[in-house]
Every structure is written in structure tokens, then in C-alpha cells.
Chain A
Amino acid sequence: MEDVIKGFGLILEFKNILLIFGGVLVGVLVGALPGLSSPMAIALLMPFTISLDPVASISMMAALYCAGTFGGSITAILINAPGAPPAVATALDGYQMAKKGEPGRALGLAAISSVLGGIFAIFVFLLATPLLAEIALKFGPVEYFGLTLFALSMLAAMSGKSSIRNLIAGTLGVLISTIGVHLATGVERFDFGVQELTEGIKFVPVLIGLFAMSELLNQSKTLNDAVERMSARALKLPTFSELKALKGTILRSSGLGTFIGILPAEGSTVAAMMGYNEAKRWSKEPEKFGTGSPEGIAGPEAANNAAAGGAMVPTLALGIPGSGTTALILAALVMHGFRPGPYLITETPHLVYAIFGAMLFANFGFLGIGLVGAKFFSYVTFIPKRFLWPSVFVFSLIGSYAYSSAIFDVWVMLLSGIIGYFALRNGFSPAPFVMGLILGKMVEETFTQSMVIYENNFLNFFESGVFIFFFILTFVSLSTPFWGKIRNKFFPAKPQS
């Protein structure tokens, strides 16, 4: 309890409230702007937080993450252009409701469902994180290796264009993480005589390049695209009876979203789509979906925001990112000298509770911002791309340089961006690569320690029951994308007469 009070006390300091509020504002802004995203904003912000108080800066990023998920739905509803991928499902009914002349009601439903989903997940986060960390504390290197293997295998099921390509991107990320001095032997690996590479590839410039620069190149194709503007934009909160009718949908989607968020590598986009599908499946009026159904807005919105909270659980309790954005928050924790994993809550519990408080604050923050600023945030989409993206480049330049005052990092950022752009064109997403890059060191460290413990024989790893459990889960998650294919082959659907 003392730690909870201490954590809350930290975020209640005026300077920290200001930073968290800034995070919420930036989150809603980047969420609303198609092309800009929360991971990109966090990657750009990261180097500038070095000089800030670590608790405040991590809390600010967590708040930005929560608010960014909601921000995407503003433009999804008003201009049918989801600002962020998790808002795609919201656009299906949100935009239809807006077109019927009720944009304020659609925004209000989205805001309230998001807040309720978010709060639900935060309480699960508060209860589950210490429990999960306690279990993880009993893990040895081999169990941890099994867990990281499972987390990486989840990349196969991660939303993206292709499971195989996700796995390749993850493997490449782990491979890039091996650059630099090998801690066990002191051997310099893949540095090619470049002094900057002996310390390894730094996360921050790569993250900025992959998320900001590749998107800049992507956006250069669509400089002349115009968006259609809607008229009325006042947020209207749902009535009590309306909320009562939606309580089942919101509760179900919140639970589903939190669970999906907790799964390593899965994120808000999958949660939103599943939230939408489940809302439709349970609805008494499924035929109204796609025509402006309130359940079609509440379902995905509660789920995607709950997933954002859920994704923080494995990130903070196990050091395994629950989504692409939490992978960046994990990188920020490392950058600020924290030790992600079960020790985080035993050594720095106030940080975990401060993040909890910041996320709670963010949920009410974006509701307030939504109430008064929805109109403004719908206008930000009209900032011309010809001015917006050079500004992103300027921030990318400064951010990558500021990290360690080296022009080498700027080159790393730029090359990551160019490679990322062409990789994106060929179906490779940046998120699996980032997960691999961030988890890489942990995978190698636990693998090396396990091999030493188990006399250099991988088969001996199976002496651990926990490792067997994770190994089975790994197998299941790797085969998941092919289940449908196998089922169709051996049990083809009977043609309907």
C-alpha cells in the first residue's frame, strides 16, 4: 500500500501532471493524424526524456500510449480515416453513425467505451502484475528462455501481412541485437572495425527510423490525397439507459481486450477486430452492424483500450512486450536504467504504480480532451502533409542525434528508415523486428546460461516442466496461422444445399 501511495504521489507532483497531460495531448494528436502513430511518437520522444525524471517520462509514455489508442477513433468516426490501426473497426459503424448526422453521439460512445475498457484493464493490470512477477521470480534461465521463445513465436500470430514475414523480421531483429561485444566471452561481433558498433546498435535511432522515416517515405506517395470533412463535431456522452443497454458489450470486450493485450506480441488491433466480431455475435440486432450500430462502436473501442492496459502486464511483470508500442516502453525502461522483468516490481514498485496512476489519469484525460477538443482534433488532419512530414524529419534528426550526440546515430536512423520502407513494401512490419531487437539480448543471455547449466545439451532443457509448457505453447502459436488451412484440407466445409 505504501508503494501505491508513493507511486501515486509521484505522478501527483505538478511537473509530472503536466508531463502526463502533455503525453495525453500528444497521444490524442498523433492518434488522430493518419500516418502518425503512438509508437512513432514514443520513439521520437524517447531521446528527449533522458534528462527528465525516469518515473515521469515512463508515465508520460504510458499516458501517450493510452490516449493514442483513443485518438485514432476521432478521425475514424469523423472522416472515415482511422488515425491508428486499432480504430479501423470503429470506423465501420462510427463513420456510418456520423453520416446519419450523429457524429457527437458516435464520439461520445467511443470515448466512454474507451474509458471503461481502459479502467477495467488497469485494474486487471494492478492485480495481475504483482502475481505474474511473483511467479516469474521463481524462473531460472531455462524457464526464461522458454518464455522469450514463446514471446517471439507469438510474432507468427501477430497482426500483420504475413506470419512467416513477421517471424523473419523478428529473427532479423534478434540477429541485429548480437552486434557488439559478446558479454560472455568479450568477443567483438559484427563491428567491422567501426568503433560505434562495439557497443551494439542503439535502440532509439533504429526505432525512430523504422517508425518515422519509413512512414515519411510512405506518405510521400500520397501528398495530394484529400479528405472529406464532416460538419457537426460536438461530443455527446451517451445517456444512462444507453450505457445500460451496452454494458454487456463493453464488459465482454473489456475482458477480451485485456486478455488479448496480456498475450505477448498481440495488440490493440487484433483486440479491436475481435471486440467488433464478438459484439456482433452477441448482438440481438447483428444486421444493424455496419450501418451505425452503437454496439459496433462500443465493442472495438472498449477492446482496443483494454488491450493497451493488458499489454502493460507482461511488459512490466515479465519484461516481455505485450505489443509493438509496449516494446518501445520497454526500450525506454532499459534506457532509463531500469531492469524490466519481475525485479521491476520488487525493486522499484513505485514506478509500476506510478505507471498505473498515469494510465488511469490518461483515461480521464482523453475523455476531457475529447469533450472539449474533439472538434480541434478533427481539424488537425487538415495540416498539409507538405509541412507535417518535414517537421517529423526535423524531430527525427534531433531525436536520433540527441541520444548520444553522434552523427553516426543519425545515419543509423536514416538507413533504418530506408530499409524499413522497402521492407514494408514487401510485407515486413516494423513491430516484429523491434520486438526481436529488444528481446534479443535476453534470449541470448538466457540461452547461454541455460546451455552452461544443462551441460551444453539443448535436450536437457526438457527436464524443466515450465520449459516444456512454454515449448508446447511455442509450437501451438507457430502452428496457429496454419490451423485453418489444415482444417480446410482434411475437413472441408460441406457445400450448402
Chain B
Amino acid sequence: MSNESNFASDKSGARFYHKKDLYLAIILVAFGAFVYYEADKFPPAPLVLGDTINADVFPKILVVVLLFLTAIIPFEFKITPEKVAKIDKERNERTISITWITIVMLLTIVSLANFLGAVLTMFTTCLIFPLVWGEKNYVAVAIYAIVFPACVYLLFNQLLGLYFEPGLLEIFKK
């Protein structure tokens, strides 16, 4: 994607605002508006506490600061063009499929962590990750998937006394 496509231009062709940063600003404004709305619902301090600051004051001040700073973001390229160009270079690279797959893997593993238990979660992680990431040395993967979780288990559970949820392995205990 060319860097030019990141900008919206006015009639004269001069760059007016940065499109991606505008979207970013919209997300931040929406977040700020939500926080402000939620803070507005906080009950006032009881009279018995006397002269004190209500719970909503500080978050609301922060939202105002956030909105002020956010307003600059779409036009930041006019203040520090070289810094924004550097950021553009990085974000113009598409998030490649392996990163999305990794995110899905991480979410799946954490979702299953309670069910699997600590040891099986570690084993699954050490087995699945290298394979999905393209490791072809299957023997090394198998050794790693067994030895690494075993070492972690010995160190943290047996030596440091950290409790590991048994999860699925509880069946074998019974």
C-alpha cells in the first residue's frame, strides 16, 4: 500500500488529515465517550464523608485530557512527518496470516487451559506452536513438547511448590 493512500487531501491536493490516524482517533474518542458515560453514573460521595472529591471527577478529567490529545492524532503528520512516516511503514505491512493464526491459537489454548490443566496446556503449547509455525524437525518438537513442560513442572511444582491445576489429568489420579 502506498503511503499516499494514508492521507485525505483537500481540493488543492494538500494533505489534510491522516486517514488511519483518524480511524484510530475515532476509536479513542468512542472509548473516551464510553468511559465518560459510565463515570457519569457513579453515585455522589455520601454526605457523611464531608468535603471530598466524587469518584467520577478524576476519570472525567482524564477523558478530557485523552480527547484533547486524540484530537491531534489525525494531524500529527503535519507536526512530526518523519515520525508518522516511520509508524506508517510498520502499519502499512499487513498483519500476516501466521499472526492471526497465532492469536487464534493463543485464545484457544487459554480457553482450554482450565479443562486441560497446567501440564497438558504446557504440553499442547509446546507441541502445537512449533508445528503450526512450520517446524519440520518432528523429533525435536516431540522432545521439546515432553522435556520442557516436565522441567517447568519439576521446577515450579516440585521445587517452588506452585499449585498446578490437574484438569484432565485428574481422571488418571482417580
B87, B106, B135: the one within 8 Å of A426 (CB): B87
Segment 133-166 of A: residues with Cβ below 8 Å from B: 161-165
Measured between beta carbons, the chain A residues less than 8 angstroms from B79 are: 482, 485
- A393 nearest in chain B by CB position: B125
Can you list 18 contacts pairing A with B, beta carbon distance less than 8 Å?
A161-B87, A162-B87, A164-B72, A171-B62, A185-B45, A185-B49, A185-B55, A189-B59, A217-B102, A221-B98, A386-B130, A393-B129, A394-B125, A394-B148, A394-B152, A425-B91, A427-B83, A427-B90
A371 interface residue (CB < 8 Å to B): no
Contact for B55 among A182, A481, A485, CB less than 8 A:
A182
B9 within 8 A of A: no
- With a cutoff of 8 Å between Cβ atoms, the chain A residues found around residue B140 in the complex are 387
Q: Which residues of chain A (359-414) have a CB below 8 Å from chain B?
A: 384-387, 389-391, 393-395, 397-398, 401-402, 405, 407, 410-411, 414
Contact check: which of B86, B134, B149 meets A394 at CB < 8 Å? Answer: B149
Decide: B121 and A397 in contact? CB cutoff 8 A: yes
The yes or no answer to A246 lying at the interface (CB within 8 A) is no
Question: Which B residues between 148 and 174 are near A, CB-CB below 8 angstroms?
Answer: 148-149, 152, 156, 160-163
Q: Which residues of A contact B84 (CB under 8 A)?
A: 162, 427
Query: Contacts A161-B86, A168-B69, A452-B52 known; A481 to B80 CB distance under 8 Å?
Result: yes
A411–B52 touching, CB < 8 Å: no
Contact B98 A220 (CB under 8 A): yes
Residues of A whose CB lies within 8 Å of any CB of B are 48, 51, 161-165, 167-168, 171-172, 174-175, 178, 182, 184-185, 187, 189-190, 213, 216-217, 220-221, 223-224, 384-387, 389-391, 393-395, 397-398, 401-402, 405, 407, 410-411, 414, 417-418, 421, 425-427, 444, 447-448, 451-452, 455-456, 481-482, 485
Q: Which residue of A lies closest to B75 (CB)?
A: A164
User: How distant is the Cα of A455 from the Cα of B166 in the complex, in angstroms?
Assistant: 57
Q: Is A387 within 8 A of B144, CB to CB?
A: yes
Chain B hits for A455, CB < 8 A: 51
Q: Do B118 and A398 touch across chains, with their CB atoms under 8 A apart?
A: yes
Known: A387-B144, A426-B91, A444-B58. A187 touches B35 (CB 8 A): no
Residues of chain B touching chain A, judged by Cβ–Cβ distance below 8 Å, are 20, 24, 28, 35, 38-39, 42-43, 45-46, 49, 51-55, 58-59, 62-63, 65-66, 69-70, 72-73, 76, 79-80, 83-84, 86-87, 90-91, 93, 95-96, 98-99, 102-103, 106-107, 109-110, 113-114, 118, 121-122, 125-126, 129-130, 133-135, 140, 144, 148-149, 152, 156, 160-163
* Interface residue from A168, A221, A389, A410 paired with B129 (Cβ < 8 Å): A389
- The residues of B that contact A182 with a CB separation of less than 8 Å are 42, 55
Q: Which 5 A-B pairs have the closest CB atoms?
A: A390-B129, A187-B55, A427-B87, A182-B55, A185-B45
CB-CB < 8 A to A167: which residues of B?
69
B160 adjacent to A51 (CB under 8 Å):
yes
Whether B58 pairs with A384 at a CB distance below 8 angstroms is no
CB B105 to nearest CB in A, in angstroms, measures: 9
* CB <8 Å contact, B58 and A447: yes
Q: Give the chain B neighbours of A481 by CB distance below 8 A.
A: 80
**Bound complex: CA A184 to CA B32 (Å):** 23
Q: Take A223-B98, A384-B135 as given contacts and tell me if A414 and B106 are in contact as well, using a CB distance cutoff of 8 Å.
A: yes
Given A175-B59, A425-B91, A444-B58, A162 and B49 touching (CB < 8 A)?
Answer: no
Minimal Cβ-Cβ distance residue in A for B59:
A178
| Contacting pair A407 B55 (CB below 8 A) | no
Q: A172–B45 contact, CB under 8 A?
A: no
A48-B156 in contact given A164-B72, A171-B66, A448-B53 (Cβ < 8 Å): yes
Q: Which residue on chain A has the smallest CB distance to residue B72?
A: A164
Other-chain contact of B51, A51, A444, A456 (Cβ < 8 Å): A456
* Chain B residues whose C-beta falls within 8 Å of the C-beta of A184 in the assembled complex: 45, 49, 52-53, 55
| Pair B90/A168 contact, Cβ less than 8 Å | no
CB neighbours of B99 from chain A (8 A): 217, 220-221, 421
